[in-house]
């Protein structure tokens, strides 16, 4: 079978995806590796809508089965911000050190469980026959009081996961992938793909 394209231009995501999908009996390639350079406007207001928009658009351009991830950080105290706007929060090119510090400052005086937050990931698969499949994963935590950890990307240094006593930025990649929003969504998607493609 043809390769499967993962429609993302975020290298941090792509590294995690390749690691999680290792051993899948079909090659998973990035848009760049497939020679597709598309800038897709994320006009949806939910993770599901945006993941489907990205997967469908690249499937139409490539003719191949295409997966896409829409993900982000939801902080309950500030009405689930930055949510679907996580990548665009304070501007796409603003360093994450600034974004993370701003979010910590916005929770000034907020304590304990009121700092609850989670990463959400929805993966969509768009098939040339028109079928769409989605899978969702989350990882729950609280916003830390300072950035911690140098692994991962984006908001990883500020999502503290009490169960593991560390932020996702302090987790080794293989540890994060086992329990993360993306790891869970992708494992689910992997099973759904095996079923759809009749892979035993
Ligand atoms: P693509 O649309 O090209 O995939 P993107 O970075 O724009 O790349 P999203 O629109 O899905 O992707 O935004 C996801 C943002 O959410 C991402 O840029 C981070 O800021 C944040 N995020 C998602 N997963 C994360 C993770 O595992 N660790 C840290 N931050 C994460």
Helix axis angle for 181-196 and 11-20, nearest 10°, is: 60
Residue among 16, 36, 71 to mutate when testing ligand 1 (max atoms within 8 A of CB):
71
- pLDDT tens track for 44-103: 999 999 999 999 999 999 999 999 999 999 999 999 999 999 999 999 999 999 999 999
pLDDT of residue 199: 81
Residue found by looking up tokens 């658009």 in the block: 57
- CATH fold of 3-196 reads Maf protein (3.90.950)
Please give the model's pTM, rounded to 2 decimal places. Answer: 0.95
Q: Which residues does the annotation mark as catalytic?
A: 70
DSSP code of residue 127: -
């Amino acid at each position: 079978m043809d390769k499967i394209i993962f429609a993302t231009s975020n290298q941090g995501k792509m590294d995690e995806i390749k690691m999680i999908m290792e051993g899948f009996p079909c090659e998973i390639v990035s848009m760049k590796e497939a020679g597709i350079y598309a800038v897709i406007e994320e006009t949806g207001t939910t993770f599901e809508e945006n993941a489907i928009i990205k997967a469908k658009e690249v499937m139409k351009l490539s003719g191949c089965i295409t997966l896409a991830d829409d993900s982000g950080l939801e902080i309950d105290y500030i009405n689930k911000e930055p949510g679907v706007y996580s990548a665009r929060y304070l501007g796409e090119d603003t360093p994450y050190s600034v974004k993370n510090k701003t979010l910590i400052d916005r929770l000034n005086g907020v304590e304990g469980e009121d700092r609850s937050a989670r990463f959400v990931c929805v993966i969509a698969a768009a098939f040339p026959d028109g079928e769409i499949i989605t899978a969702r994963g989350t990882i729950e935590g609280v916003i830390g009081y300072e950035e911690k950890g140098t692994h991962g990307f984006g908001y990883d240094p500020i999502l503290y996961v009490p169960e593991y006593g560390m932020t996702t930025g302090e987790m080794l990649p293989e540890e994060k992938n086992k329990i993360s929003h993306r790891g869970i969504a992708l494992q689910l998607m992997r099973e759904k793909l095996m079923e759809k493609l009749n892979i035993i």
